[in-house]
Structure 1
Amino acid sequence: MDKIVLKDKDNKEVEFNIIDTFGVDEKTYAALEPLDEDFIVIFEVIEEKDSVSFKFIENDKELDEIINIYEDMKED
């Protein structure tokens, strides 16, 4: 399983397992699990020329929609 290190709002490094990546409406998302935790967070993946970044989804409605889509995909 691939791992990635991101910085939280306090600039502290947090290591995640990359559980899944998936596309919705021309956007790419990643389901990440913090190490030693039992929950998943979903970020939007922003791909630019030579870099990839992970964007926190601030819009609650969009986040709920993406979570529902992800859960439906996992059931299939």
Structure 2
Amino acid sequence: MGTSVPVPGQHLPGSGGGVDPADVHSRVDALLDRLDSVGAEGVGADSGDPEALARQAQILERAHDVLVESLAAVDKV
């Protein structure tokens, strides 16, 4: 039985080698800072500007991806 068992999150980029919590925090914080700057342009969620909402959604999706990748790497341990 030389077949290896797949590990959850193994297919995600950057999921090997452990996770540095400080790195995760800094990456998510940087994304959230970008989110704040998109809202500070005066075209945030309150104004209903579709382009601003799309940019905010992309930033939040990327922050979510960072967290999922980190959890997947921890799950491998």
- TM-score, normalization: structure 1? 0.31
Q: Which has the higher helix share?
A: 2
TM-score, structure 2 length as denominator? Answer: 0.30
Q: Which has the larger radius of gyration?
A: 2
Answer 1 or 2: which has greater strand percent.
Answer: 1
Higher-RCO chain (CA-CA 8 Å, sequence separation at least 6): 2
